Amino acid sequence: MASILTNLFDGVAYGMLLFVLACGLAVTLGLMNFVNLAHGAFAMAGGYICAVLVNNSGWPFFAALPLAFVGSAVIGIALERTLYRHLYSRSHLDQVLFSIGLVFMSVAAVDYIMGSSRVFIKLPAALEGQIDLFGVGIGRYRLMIVVICGLLTLALQLILAKTRFGSRLRAAVDDPRAAIGLGINVPQVFAFTFAFGCGLAGLGGALSAEILGLDPYFPLKFMIYFLIVVTVGGSSSITGPFLASLLLGIADVAGKYYVPKVGPFVIYTVMIVILLWRPNGLFGRTAAR
């Protein structure tokens, strides 16, 4: 019984991590309809920034996390302004080719700079080990992930629903032309959103180094997971991808624990079935364009 709960908790932590990693993609892919397979590269950038700061420069872990966010966001906005924005109106094939090219470049570049072996981030002692909660073993690190990611999700939901920027973004996504007509600077809103999504991915990358492992092939290995979160979750709200990540996280952890041999098999099958059953995602409203 206790092991079931521990697994469940691990799954929730894993799912929340996936959500933070992928929610930027939910905006670019789901809302702006841009197929960005290179999203994992931004996550990897954040992870390596954090690793370098903590391991080489001796920064405390919690101080390096915001830097991972900022670093990835800066890289994201630089690429958005120079390259991505020319591709919004191009065909999906072009977008796929372009982002695969970016992934390849990032993989080789990180391999060149940082080496090909897996990188570990030194964690503060307070985050190691487990605490016992009503007889259920809960990893401290995972608990921290759940807290951070939960707060982030709440904040995102509030920003989208309550702030002026959130309503601008929703307007820009629903109908860019009408939004421009109303005086909303749509390219700026998109650029800012893109950068914010990249920043979140970077933060997720830094947090996930301990759980998912950080090496140059990170963007390729987890690309499918991010895509699953977005396509299965749908793009009409932030709740869809959130629930999809939780589902994926719990299913993946449970699959690896209870049926280790068919774990990945189950996930891909479920994904294909869901996409066939509801091509716009489990929680999607808008038609896939």
For other proteins, the closer of residues 120 and 268 by Cβ is: 268
Task: Give whole-number Cα distances, 36 to 50, 108, 154, 253, in Å.
Answer: 23, 18, 25, 26
Q: Which single residue is written with the structure tokens 């691990």?
A: 10
CB 85 to other proteins: min, Å: 12
Taking the C-alpha atoms of residue 27 and residue 189, their distance in angstroms, rounded to an integer, is: 12
Taking the C-alpha atoms of residue 168 and residue 180, their distance in angstroms, rounded to an integer, is: 10
CB 29 to other proteins: min, Å: 7
For other proteins, the closer of residues 81 and 86 by Cβ is: 86
For other proteins, the closer of residues 72 and 95 by Cβ is: 95
CB 78 to other proteins: min, Å: 14
For other proteins, the closer of residues 139 and 197 by Cβ is: 197
140: phi then psi, degrees, rounded to nearest 5 = -60, -40
Amino acid at 196: F
For other proteins, the closer of residues 6 and 235 by Cβ is: 235
Taking the C-alpha atoms of residue 43 and residue 45, their distance in angstroms, rounded to an integer, is: 5
For 116, other C-beta atoms within 10 Å of its C-beta total 11
- Binding residues (CB under 8 A) for other proteins: these are 29, 35, 83, 86-87, 90-94, 96-98, 100-109, 111-112, 220, 223-224, 227-228, 231, 261-262, 264-265, 268-269, 271-272, 275-276, 279, 288-289
For other proteins, the closer of residues 81 and 122 by Cβ is: 81
CB 28 within 8 A of CB 194: yes
CB 130 to other proteins: min, Å: 31
CB 109 to other proteins: min, Å: 6
For other proteins, the closer of residues 199 and 219 by Cβ is: 219
CB 113 to other proteins: min, Å: 10
Residue from 92, 13, 30, 39 nearest 237 by CA = 30
CB 212 to other proteins: min, Å: 17
Cβ-proximal residues to 113 (8 Å cutoff; 6+ apart), any chain: none
Which runs of consecutive H residues, i.e. helices, occur in 115-185? 140-162, 164-174, 176-181
